[in-house]
Amino acid sequence: MMSGNSHWLRTLLRIQYTCLTRLKKTVSDLGSEAVFVDLLKDLILRGVKGYIIYDLAQQGREPHFVLPFTLWGMIAVTPPNKNNFKGWKKQNGPTRIIMNCPDESDVRALCVWMKRNEQRRQGEYWREVKGRMDEVGPILRVIFNAQKFNNRKNDIDKVIDVVDSSNAKHYVGGMSDKLWEAVNPSHKLVQIVRVSEDSINETYLNSPASRVIANKMYIHLSTKMHSREIFKLLMHPDVILLSNVLEMLGTVTFMCRGAVNIIIIKLKELKPPEGRVFQLAALQRNPEGHPTEAVGLPTKQGDPGKNLARYRVMYKSVFPNFPLVDAFFFMESPRKTLVGLQMNTADAHHTIPSTVNEFTERMAEYFNGWEELSRDMSWEIINVQHADSAPMSGWQRCDVVNSDNVSKKEKKGIAIFWKQKVHQYIAAISSGGFRRDTALRSEE
């Protein structure tokens, strides 16, 4: 029995009731499981030996009760959902082999091989395949085919759409970079990661199939569940500290009033450049203005679906490489303010003009009337730091660098704007700064 990404094998062999004949070197599609089993019985009677490969992710149920045959070996390729094979496993006692999904270097090597006679296209082809892999995961039978890729994206969205408070616990780790053990997850959303406990024993944990899927999960749960429900979901024994919650679900804490009440106490402004005075963050002066819902930003690969920006909405891109900030929201009072959130794990977090420029370009792309909305708008950056991070002590600069692909005049203007208009804050939460009942009681 092989726990892993079944599609890794399916690129080498088509498994849905097919039979390979060694003499003719052909593959026959037999159509149904019953016909397949009858053929195997006939082959055994004729003294033919071979192996059976059964894809549980494709079939969605356990293998036929007569499988495997005594004289034939069998590999059952399993998805993360243990319910699909636990009965068959108990009856047959197979040896477990845990196999990781292909990594980026594996896929890139395949791209080079597939375009070995078209060297000029190798780079372009790799970027196309990598873009698909970043969205749906390293599923080989999907990322090399545009139609299958689009179908997979639709399937992922359908699976995410049925996740709610009743089954969200299976995907709690999917909104972070952490590995976790899920009992009944969908193989469309998670992948298996091999974990070697010692030289003999090995097991596996789950991780999101891709960061895009993880972000889609965050956005979906933020819209389907009250922020307090999500907060409670994270309050299991392994993540009772706010620092861990911030690491796992970061921006959702700013949608939970109880957490906001704690954060604004800890919020401190980083020392601004000379000539500027300190000022309280907009969230400190108006905690009622915190976001109460989340919206996923569109991407450049699809229809932007431009709309008007709304106050008290947490905006987060489904792609993890969004420029400048990890998420942001708008506040109307005490002043019109854009509040950007950066989830930091290191002290230095300087930016460059091209990053700021790309951010404003994205904003103009996503929101109607951005030029008018942004006029006289204050900018605040809240750096959320984990308890084990080196403390951020200095104001984060916007450094002008020669490699920056922005004109000299634009660089200067962006650097001046950053120095004069952008206020920066740090929310450093210590391990003892939060208790479960404190945040939840403050919401009641």
Q: What digits encode the pLDDT tens for the residues 19-49? A: 555 545 555 556 677 787 888 888 888 888 7
Residues with Cβ within 8 Å of residue 96, at least 6 apart in sequence: 1, 2, 3
Q: Provide the residue type at 383 as one letter.
A: N
Lowest mean pLDDT, pick from 83-97, 209-223, 252-266: 83-97
Taking residue 49's Cβ as centre, other Cβ atoms within 10 Å add up to 9
- Tens of pLDDT, residues 98-149: 888 899 999 999 999 999 999 899 999 999 999 999 999 999 989 999 999 9
Please report the beta strands in 168-307, taking only residues with DSSP state E, as ranges in sequence order.
190-196, 202-208, 268-269, 293-297
Answer for the pair 184, 168: CB distance below 8 angstroms, yes or no. Answer: no
Look at residue 279 and tell me whether its pLDDT is greater than 50.
Answer: yes
**Gap between the Cα atoms of 334 and 289, Å rounded:** 9
Closest CA to 440 of 199, 270, 262: 262
Q: What is the pLDDT of residue 61?
A: 65
| Per-residue pLDDT at 13 | 34
Listed in sequence order, the residues at least 6 apart from 331 whose beta carbon sits closer than 8 Å to its beta carbon are: 282, 283, 286, 289, 311, 312, 337, 339
Please enumerate in sequence order all residues whose Cβ is within 8 A of that of 265, keeping only pairs 6 or more positions apart, or say none.
none
**CA torsion, ordered 81, 85, 86, 90, to nearest 10 deg:** -160
What distance in Å separates the CA atoms of residue 274 and residue 276, rounded to the nearest whole number?
Answer: 6
Q: Which residues pair with 317 in a beta bridge?
A: 297
Residue 383 — pLDDT band, cuts 50, 70, 90? confident
- Contact assessment for residue 389 and residue 344, using Cβ atoms and an 8 Å cutoff: yes
Task: Compute the distance between CA of residue 415 and CA of residue 421 in angstroms, rounded to an integer.
Answer: 10
% of the chain exceeding 70 in pLDDT: 68
Tokens 């009337």, residue located: 369
Q: State residue 427's pLDDT score.
A: 83
The pair of structure tokens assigned to 59 is 């079939």
Identify the CA nearest to 394 among candidates 271, 253, 280, 282.
271
Q: Mean pLDDT in the chain? A: 75
User: Could you give the residue ranges of the DSSP H alpha helices within 238-397?
Assistant: 242-249, 257-266, 282-285, 353-366, 370-374
Mean pLDDT over 231-239 rounds to 50
Whole-angstrom CA distances from 410 to 24, 406, 413, 417 are 68, 6, 5, 10
pLDDT of residue 138: 92
Residue 322 pLDDT exceeds 80: yes
Q: What is the DSSP string of 387-423?
A: TTSPPP-SPPPB---TT-SS-HHHHHHHHHHHHHHEE
Q: What does the alpha-carbon distance between residue 84 and residue 270 come to, in Å, rounded to a whole number?
A: 53
With H, G, I as helix, E, B as strand and everything else as coil, classify residue 16. Answer: coil
211-225 confidence digits (pLDDT tens): 888 778 877 776 666
Q: Which of 229-233, 275-279, 359-363 has the lowest mean pLDDT?
A: 229-233
